[in-house]
């Protein structure tokens, strides 16, 4: 897969969905005709109208080399590193969309916007984030419900060479506008920053740069059809945007749950190549993906899928590449039954698969060095941050406490979120390990812990 670079600069209570007077986002008018122009479109009115709904996002990030001095979580004035990104409002109550990597491992988020020529700045909290699609939902902390919003369009209706407008915050230059065309659709062979995820990019040639991450890509009707995400670091005029139709499928779970629960088939698949088709004796025009591996006991095996099967459609949707099937299975919904059509040794076969929840394979991290404290911790996700009353998912959450250990003796419990060790702010589990490694044996450390809605100060002696 090709590598790309993200466009970011720099190293709580949630309103229930049922309480919204209008949907979380505004859809484009159904059935509205797509205008076909014989000359260049009038883009100035589109950009002018959209400008007030686009925001600049600034974040405070932990310094990689100095955990001691990075105290911005508890002391916002002591900032270590700053990051920049973009975003746009989708609901007048202050809900806005950006990239998940814009707010990853940060200790503070502020949003700057311009309405009626006046620039205003507000703090924001993370409502939900989904790293596999790199989509995040934020909520501006302001006592108002009249923020300007952008309607979400239909990225599937875009065609190659259609005009698009990008608005964002490149290099801190807020509300910058560039224009271009869609260069390609369905770009799945791009891996931003080497990360795995669900990529089905729109490739555009509108100029986007670091700081554009999370900004809207608009069609000629002023509707958001993409979210600026990555750029080819060595190319010119090669940018990538998340299709808005993909983002729509994760926004409501982010609002209600803070994360996206996915389903799975439990199989590995490969794109078909001409050589594979010849080797299997299949027609050269056959489109689909070949099953290369099946997890024992997973939904795919239970439904009767076999290695060598060529899956041609999933739940009535044609499947032409592995990434497409992976996405369809992930958003299919655990507990649902899906219809799978396939070619098995030249014969058409139809199966029914009962999708299961995707296993959580997030690794847990033991932070004791040496392992004498008795804690296993993991990253804090957005739901855990909500439970702890945190605006941002930072800290280290206790997964288990060893019986008879120093951690148990200090009163630590499963579910606790550790925020500080002495003067060291804990942004992630590895920071916890680093902080403890600096404590001598026999010394007592002071821990700041969130347990539910309470902040506790706990003393623990290192054996």
What positions carry a catalytic annotation?
101, 134, 213
Q: What is d(CA 443, CA 435) in angstroms, rounded to the nearest whole number? A: 13
Tell me the three state secondary structure of residue 190.
strand
| Tokens read off for 452 | 């539910």
Residue identified by tokens 């007077």 is 21
Which residues are CB-neighbours of 261 under 8 A, at least 6 positions away?
Answer: 253, 334, 357, 358
| Tokens read off for 370 | 């040496």
Q: What is d(CA 137, CA 333) in angstroms, rounded to the nearest whole number? A: 21
Q: Which residues of 120-159 are buried (b: 16+ CB within 10 A; e: fewer)?
A: eebebbbbbbbbbbbbbbbbbeeeeeebebbbbbbbeebe
If 0-12 CB within 10 Å is exposed, 13-18 middle and 19+ buried, where does residue 365 land? middle
Per-position DSSP letters for 425-448, written without gaps between them:
E-SSHHHHHHHHHTSPTT-EEEEE
Q: Give yes or no for a contact between 278 and 292, defined as CB atoms under 8 angstroms apart.
A: no
Q: What is d(CA 54, CA 167) in angstroms, rounded to the nearest whole number? A: 7
Tell me the three state secondary structure of residue 47.
helix
Which residue from 97, 104, 285, 321 is spatially nearest to 201, judged by alpha carbons?
A: 321
Tell me the three state secondary structure of residue 299.
helix
Q: What phi, psi does 232 have (nearest 5°)?
A: -70, 115
Tell me the three state secondary structure of residue 186.
strand
What do you get for the CA distance between the two ends of the chain, in Å? 48
Q: What is d(CA 24, CA 96) in angstroms, rounded to the nearest whole number? A: 10
């Amino acid at each position: 897969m090709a590598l790309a670079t993200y466009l970011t600069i720099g190293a709580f209570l949630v309103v229930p969905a049922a309480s919204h007077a209008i949907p979380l986002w505004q859809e484009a008018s159904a059935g509205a005709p797509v205008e076909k122009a014989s000359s260049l479109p009038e883009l100035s009115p589109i950009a002018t109208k959209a400008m007030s709904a686009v925001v600049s996002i600034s974040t405070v990030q932990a310094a990689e080399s100095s955990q001691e001095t990075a105290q911005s979580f508890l002391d916002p004035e002591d900032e270590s590193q700053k990051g920049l990104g973009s975003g746009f409002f989708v609901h007048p109550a202050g809900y806005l969309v950006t990239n998940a990597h814009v707010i990853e491992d940060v200790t503070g988020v502020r949003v700057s916007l311009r309405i009626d020529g006046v620039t205003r700045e507000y703090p924001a909290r993370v409502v939900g984030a989904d790293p596999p699609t790199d989509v995040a939902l934020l909520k501006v902390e302001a006592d108002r419900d009249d923020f300007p919003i952008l309607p979400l369009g239909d990225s599937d209706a875009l065609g190659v060479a259609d005009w698009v407008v990008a608005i964002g915050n490149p290099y801190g230059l807020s509300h910058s506008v560039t224009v271009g065309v869609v260069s390609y659709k369905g770009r799945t062979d791009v891996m931003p920053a080497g990360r795995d995820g669900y990529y089905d990019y729109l490739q555009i040639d509108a100029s986007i740069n670091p700081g554009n991450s999370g900004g809207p890509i608009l069609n000629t009707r002023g509707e958001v059809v993409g979210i600026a995400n990555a750029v080819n670091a060595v190319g010119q005029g090669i940018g990538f945007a998340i299709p808005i139709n993909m983002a729509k499928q994760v926004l409501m779970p982010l609002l209600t749950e803070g994360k996206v629960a996915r389903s799975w088939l439990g199989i590995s698949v490969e794109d078909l190549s001409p050589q594979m088709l010849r080797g299997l004796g299949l027609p050269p025009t056959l489109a689909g993906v070949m099953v290369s591996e099946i997890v024992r006991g997973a939904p795919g095996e239970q439904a009767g899928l076999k290695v060598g099967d060529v899956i041609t459609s999933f739940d009535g949707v044609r499947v032409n590449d592995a990434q497409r099937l992976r996405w369809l299975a992930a958003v299919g919904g655990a507990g649902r039954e899906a219809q799978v059509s396939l070619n098995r040794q030249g014969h058409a076969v139809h199966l029914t698969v009962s999708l299961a929840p995707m296993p959580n394979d997030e690794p847990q991290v033991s932070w004791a060095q040496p392992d004498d404290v008795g804690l296993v911790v993991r990253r804090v996700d957005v739901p855990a941050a909500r439970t702890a009353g945190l605006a941002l998912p930072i800290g280290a959450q206790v997964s288990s406490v060893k019986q008879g250990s120093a951690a148990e003796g200090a009163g630590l419990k499963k579910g606790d979120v550790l925020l500080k060790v002495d003067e060291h702010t804990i942004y992630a589990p590895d920071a916890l390990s680093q902080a403890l490694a600096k404590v001598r044996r026999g010394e007592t450390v002071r821990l700041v812990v969130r347990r539910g809605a309470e902040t506790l100060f706990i003393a623990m002696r290192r054996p």
